[in-house]
Structure formats: C-alpha cells, structure tokens
Structure 1
C-alpha cells in the first residue's frame, strides 16, 4: 500500500527505515501532517532477521518495516514509495523532488536515509554480504558462535573487530590482506587471545555449493573459515541534500562519512534534522529508532515555537502592538 503524495506537509521524512518510521510515528501522534518518502533500498535487506531489538528479536527486516508503516498510518501519517533526488530551500520551508518528477513541500525535513556499505574489492564479499560475510558482532555474532571466523583487515577497526568476535568463538583468524600486520600492543593483544594473523592478500572466498568454507589467498592457499567479518566503509546517503549545502564529512573513527549534527539531531542547515545511520554510523536498529524519535520530538518542538510566534503576532495585529 502506498499513500497519495500531497502538496504540502509539516514534516517530510526522507528514508523509511527504523529511524524514519519511528520519527514519523512520534510526529503523527503529535498531530503533525507527516509523510515518509522511502526509496525501498534498506541496508539490512540481506539479513534474515533483526537482532538486539527488545520484543522484536529475530523479526525479518521487511516485517518490521511493514508493521512500522501500519503504525504510522494508524495515526494519520503517510508512507509514499519513491526516491528523493532534490531538496531545495523554498521560502521558510523546503521543496522536495522525487526521481519520477513528483514534488512536495515541507516546513521541516527529517533525514533518515541511512548509509551505503562500501566493501573491499574481493570477489564473493558482496554476494555473501548479510549471510556469512558479516560486519557487526552484535547484529550477527550469535548466529556464527563457535564457528571458524575470519576477520578481513580493511580499515582502522580490524583488530577491534577481531577482539569482539573472539568473545563469540575461540577460532578467530585475522587476515592482514593489504594492510601491514598488527604490531606493538595490538599484536600482543591478538597473541594473548590466540588470534593468529595471516599475511598476504586475500583473493576471494572459497565456496562449497552455497556454503562458505574458506578464505583463498593470492598464492592459492585456502584457510578454512565458515564466516568472514569485514568492516565496510560506511557512507551516508545524502546526494539529494547538496542543493542545501549539506554534504557528508569524514567520521572521527575513520569508518566512513556521515552528516554531522548536534545532540538533538539538528544539522547545520536550519529546519533540517538527521537521525539514524546517516549521522550515527554504528547505530543498530534500536538505536536508530530511538534517534528518529528523539529528533522528531525536537522537530515538533521547533514547529510549536514557530506556530506560537505566529499566533502571538496575529493576536497583536488588531491591537496595533
């Protein structure tokens, strides 16, 4: 079910994942006219279930989205499928343009478009992503507990990731790939926990039917593994915001690029709030949903202040105050 897009709303929420839907729910319950515009390309689509979310443990991501959409609609909010390609300043609000030519206007924007995972150029990683190629021990670690896990070094968090997965399995191997082997304190940590380091470039994954069985090095060596953890480079989806001067910046952790915001989710552009993975690269579903709700409360508060200013001005006008 897709709702009809109206000409104007109090708030347009761009992105229909956990952050966007929870934000829209809060706004709809505050009696704001709100629409969620969703391109239908969720980051967690390959995953079999959502984990670490109280009372929704293991629920398929698609089912969580459908339930969220129904809840937003039950309070009068709308959900419209479509890719937002432009957002421009329009007086004291914004005009939002979709790829199919439709437009709508918003007094405020809440951006919850999430991020894109950029993976190393290793054959097989993308195809196995979300299955036995993983990134988050909290999202997927339990499912590969006690298995032979490989950690592919491709960023500043490789050793950190190896230590986290070591909590879930005694058989963890770090593949240095194209990075230098860890040295100093990091090497000491890995050795103390029995995590061997394999040097040499990784050429691909070894499969047996539809099952991962190993990591293949450039010299032909195959190291038996049943799961591979890899830290993707996470980049916020923000191309449509360039017209407003909002562009992602490098994250302090070195893990990718994000939209900077204050603690309330307020961006550098007045009237634009951000929430979820677009501004918090490491947020799981629960944290993203909470961020969406918190930002929505701030959006509603900002609108309340504006409505109050207008009401006061209108009340004063007949008196010539």
Structure 2
C-alpha cells in the first residue's frame, strides 16, 4: 500500500495517541514502532533533512550507499502501511492540553495525562496524548567563501560517513575549531596525504608532535577561500596567495539543534544547552520524547533510527500504563454501580 500524504490543512481537531514531529530516521522509526503497536500516529514533517546535500549514506547495515532521500521515502511508506497519517508542514508550537478529566492514582499523570495540542502552520490543530520531537539540527558552517557550495560533496565532516569514499586522496582539515587536530589524526587512517590547514588554530607543541608522528603536515596561514572548478574542489587558497591542492576537506560544523518546540515546552537542558533525556529519549516533561540529532548531535542515521525505535517502545508502555489506570477507574465505577 502506498503512502498518502495529507496537506497541513485537513487534520483539524484530530486526535492521536502520538504526534511525531520530524520524518527523518528517528521520527519515522518511532512512528513505525507505534503503528505496529496499533497506536494512532501522525507524522508532521517540514521536508528539510540535515543530510539532504549528501548523495549517499553509509554505516547503516543493509542500507549502505543508499541515497538519504530514498531511505526516507521507504520509511514514509512503511509508517503509512501501519496507519500513520503523514502531514507535510511546520509545527509552530506545542502546548500541554487542559486536563479533560481528573487524574487517577498511578500512571504517568501531569501533562502526559491530559495530552498536548500541536499547532501546525496555517491553523490546523492536532491533539496528541504523547509527542515525539525529532526535528534534528542544522550545521553551522564556517563563513569561508566556497565552503557552503561544496558542503556534503567534497567538504565533509564525518570520516566514518565519508572517509572511505575519499580514501587515498589528498585531504585537508580546516583549522576552524578545537576539534581540527583530532580530526586530522583520525583521517590519517584513510589517507597518507593529510594536511591540517591551521587558519586561526594554533596547535600546541604536544599537538604538533602528535601530528608529525602521525604523518600529518601543518600548513600555516589564514584561509581565504575554497577553490572549485568544473564542479569539483581543487584546493584551499591562503592569504599569502598559495593554493594548497586538495580533493576533499573536512571541517567540524557547529551543531545547532532545531529545538524551539522543546524550548517552548520548557524541557530541561544540560550545561551546553542540549535537551536532557533518558535512554529512551524521554524528556523532563512527562509525555514528551526527543530523539535523533535534536538531542544527540553525534547520532548518525543508524543510531537515530535506533533511538526512534527505543522511544516508540517506551512511549507505548507509557500509554499502556495510562490505559490500564483508566480501565481500572471504569471497572471500579462499574462495580460500584452494580452493587447499589
């Protein structure tokens, strides 16, 4: 059965066991697990995956080399197969719903008990007993001319994602952040020709010794721009006029979580500003889970998918606990009425 995508205007007032915000690997896997658990699920997606510039993804058993868009297309079809409603659009904000009934003893209680109201851009509203936020992050790139245009092609960030594809080629690491030295030492595993383009970075004597021992050259000088020709990176131009020939360069972007929805719900954060979760993605606010890159900047696709599955399992257990509490309340009320 194929996927049916709904517009962001035709779900007004509908009620779901869970609304998943974000249709990347984490969000779709959560929806898949919940759909198979016979939960009513909605998935809302703005269509801006982090890995859109990449031609292929790697390190995912059985899916190695698959285009990211193809994985998401299959994932959407699979979630829809189990009844998930898919909405294309933005979620503007989420708010806890007013309690519809008194909470019984036990169960999840609090906001998770009364649920949430999910407001989509354009006005439609979805009602959810639980929410999964899987909105990912954006990569804050250094402002160097020519860099953004090659991002995800031959300007890369993850050796485990892309190192094999550029193995044995002249590689560079841009000294734009504190992780550059470690990245250069790591990349030496894939190529014998690795240079650290120092730029604004000043390696310590100990770091220079480690780089030299590993066979990584340090090229001093500020970077002016990345030089491309015929749709390929050719090198890195320095302020003194030199161009260092490189076929690919690595850089550590600044991860910026797309966590405005979690901020609006006042979910707790760690000292670095990232939302805190337990091992299943459960946040400090009952009824809200955060999974994938919105909570873990290091999560590759396969890890994000696993996190989505873990959230789906935990969320369903949470719903079962609430369902049992409500059933007990009805059972007791029914028994009391019959005994009169």
Fold match by TM threshold 0.5: yes
Whole-angstrom CA distance in 2 between matches of 1:78 and 1:160: 44
- SS at 2:32 equivalent: helix
- Which residue pairs with 1:79 in the alignment? 86
Whole-angstrom CA distance in 2 between matches of 1:230 and 1:156: 11
- Which residue pairs with 1:5 in the alignment? 11
Moved more, 129-138 or 51-60: 51-60
Q: How does 1:44-123 map to 2 (within 5 A)?
A: 44-91=51-98, 92-123=114-145
- 1:318 is displaced (CA, Å) by 3.0
Cα offsets for 1:246-300 (capped at 9, x unmatched): 376554xxxxx53221112111111101111111111111100000000111111
- Which residue pairs with 2:223 in the alignment? 202
Whole-angstrom CA distance in 1 between matches of 2:174 and 2:270: 25
Moved more, 108-117 or 1-10: 1-10
Cα offsets for 1:221-243 (capped at 9, x unmatched): 11111101000000110113332
Greater C-alpha radius of gyration: 2
- SS at 1:258 equivalent: coil
- Which residue pairs with 2:152 in the alignment? 130
Q: CA RMSD in A?
A: 1.6
Unaligned runs of 5+ in 1: 252-256
Whole-angstrom CA distance in 1 between matches of 2:237 and 2:316: 53
1:216 matched to 2:237: yes
Unaligned runs of 5+ in 2: 99-113
- SS at 1:160 equivalent: helix
- Which residue pairs with 2:107 in the alignment? none
1:292 matched to 2:308: yes
- Which residue pairs with 2:105 in the alignment? none
- Which residue pairs with 2:172 in the alignment? 150
State the number of aligned residues. Answer: 315
Q: Does the CA-based 8 Å contact 1:110-1:274 persist in structure 2? A: yes
Say if 1:50 and 1:250 are closer, same or farther in 2 by CA, change over 3 A. farther
